[in-house]
Amino acid sequence: MKKTKTNHIQELRQEILNSLKLVNEKNAPNIHERIQNAEGYKWVESEIISMVLSTGQAPAMCIPQIESEL
């Protein structure tokens, strides 16, 4: 079965969720604080999606860069 754009987006969002589950107060305190509510999570997710699309990096690789910019 051919993957659709929706399938790719769902897979990317799941990979982001899995990566963000590993975030804690010690390894990424600013992101950890932001993802404690839905609005902050959506913002972080959006930033990661933008970076993945523009750089081709895996979501897990985007987290430290975003953290350093906060």
Going by pLDDT thresholds of 50, 70 and 90, the confidence category of residue 6 is confident
What's the pLDDT at 2? 59
Q: Contact, 31 vs 66, CB < 8 A? A: yes
Residue-wise pLDDT for 12-63, tens only, equals 999 999 999 999 999 999 999 999 999 999 999 999 999 999 999 999 999 9
Around Cβ 15, how many Cβ atoms within 10 Å? 15
Q: Contact, 44 vs 20, CB < 8 A? A: yes
What's the pLDDT at 4? 79
Going by pLDDT thresholds of 50, 70 and 90, the confidence category of residue 8 is confident
